[in-house]
Structure 1
Amino acid sequence: MQKNLFESVYRCLMEKDLNTKITLLSQLQEDWSNDEFDFNPTKTIEKVPDAGRPDKPTLVPPKDLARRRLGSKEGHASLMHSIAHIEFNAVNLALDAIYRFQDMPYEYYRDWLGVAGEEAYHFQMVREHLNSLGYEYGDMTAHDGLWMTTYETDHDPLVRMALVPRTLEARGLDVTPPMINKLRSIGDKRGVEILKILLHDEIGHVEVGTRWFRYLCKQRDLNPFEEFQNIIKNYFHGDLRGPFNFEARKQAGFSDEEIDWLKTIK
C-alpha cells in the first residue's frame, strides 16, 4: 500500500527531535526513489505557525542577538551557530513548500524534496563543525524571522517562491563570500570548505525557486519581473539592499532585467 506524500512530509516537518527529523527525511527520500507515494491531497492543510524544532535554541528578534567578535572563540562559534540555524530552517522551508501546495506538478515535489535533503546535509556538516569548536546547536540564541515569512506566505505558492528562495535564500548568495573571507582570515579551513559547498548548492536552490516562480507566472499570465517587484513591495519586511552577488544570482536564474533593477538598489 502506498504512503501519502503530504502526510509523510507533514510528519517530518512537525518532528521536533533533530536526529529523528533527519531519519524521517532519509526515509522520505528512500520512499520517493522507490515510488512509494501517492499524491492525493489531504482533507485539510494545517497552518503551521511554528514548524517542528528542538526547544533550543531560544528564538529572539534579530536586534536582540548577542554581537560577538569573530576573532574570539565565542564569536567564531556564534557565526557557525547562526549558519546552522539557517540551514535547519531551510529543511523546514523545503518541507513546507511540499506539504502546503498540493496541486503542483510531480517535478515540483521532486525538486523540493531534493532541496530538503541537501539542506539537511548542510545542517549536519555545520553542526559537526560547531561541535568541533566545543558547541552544540541550541547553545546560543537565534533569530525568529525566517519562519515568520514562511507562515505569512502560506496562502500562495507564487508569493512563497518569490519571497523565500528568491529573496531570503538569495540573500545567502550575497553574504556567503564575505563570510568565507572572514573564516579564511582566522584560519578556519574546514569552515571555508563547508561554506563553499553551501554557496554552490544554494545557487541551485534559488534556481529551483526561480523556475517554479516563472512557471506560476506563466500559468497566471503574469509578467515575472513586474510580479516579483509587486511581491517585494507588498510582502517583504524591511529593505531589499545590497551589495548583491550578481554573478551568483544570474546563475540562480535571475533575468538581466532583474539584475539591472538590483543594480539600482543601494
Structure 2
Amino acid sequence: MGIAAKAFQTWRTSVAPGESTSDLCRKTGIKRSTLAQQLVRGTVSVDTVVRVARAFDEDPVIALSAFPEFEGLAEGRRAPTDAELISQVSYPCILRTLLTRAASEPESGLQLEQCVFPYAGSVRLWFEAIDAGDLRQRLSAATGIAPQNISAQLSAERLAPDVAVQAARLSGVSLTSGLVVTGVLQPEEGGWPPGAREQAVAGLSDVELVTLARDRLDALAKVLRKREHDEKYDHALLENLG
C-alpha cells in the first residue's frame, strides 16, 4: 500500500511550496517519469515520501504520520528491543565476536560498522524476533493478506511498509522498526540509538552467544541445502531435456 496521490500533492505543497516537479525530482533524485507514473496511478510510494522529506529537511517519520495510512507512526517510535537489535547482527559478526571472546580479547569489541544492515536474512530474522508464535495469523487477519503470502514476502526478504508497521503494532514493538529493517528508514530516523546493536550483543552471555551462533548456522545450512537441491534438480532436468 502506498500513499494517496492527492494527499501527497497536498503535503508536498506544504513542505516545498513553489517547487516545480522538475525541482522536486532534481533535489530528491527521483526520476520525473517515475513520479509521474505514481501520480497517474493515484498511489505514491512510501520511498518517494521519505526522499522528499529528507530533501527538504523534514523528519520522514513525522512526514509519513501525516497520512492516514501511517497515522500514529511518530507516536509509536521508540527504541527497539534487544531481540530486534540482535536480529540485525549478521552471523559473520556473531562468529567474530565469539572468536574474540574465545581468544580473551574483549577489549577489541565488536566492530559493527563493518556489518551493515539490512543484510540478507535481516527481514525474516526481525519478524521472527518479534513473533510470539502466531504473528502470521494475526497479521493476516489484520491486513487481509493470506499467511502463505506473508511467508512468501519474508522468504523474498521483503515486507511492504504498511505490513511491516502492522506487524510491529501487533507485536507491541516500535512502529518504526520494520521500516528500518526493510531499508525504508535509516536507523537513527527510526529511533535506533547509535551503538545499540553492539551493546545488545555485548550483553549476551557466552552460552547465549554460542547458542545464537549455532541457530544462525543451522538456518544457513538449511538455506544452502535447499539451494544445492534446487541446483541438482535444475541440472537433472536440463540433462533429461537433452
Q: Give the TM-score taking structure 2 as reference length.
A: 0.26
Larger radius of gyration: 2
Which has the bigger relative contact order, CA under 8 A and spacing at least 6? 2
TM-score between the two structures when normalised by the length of structure 1: 0.24
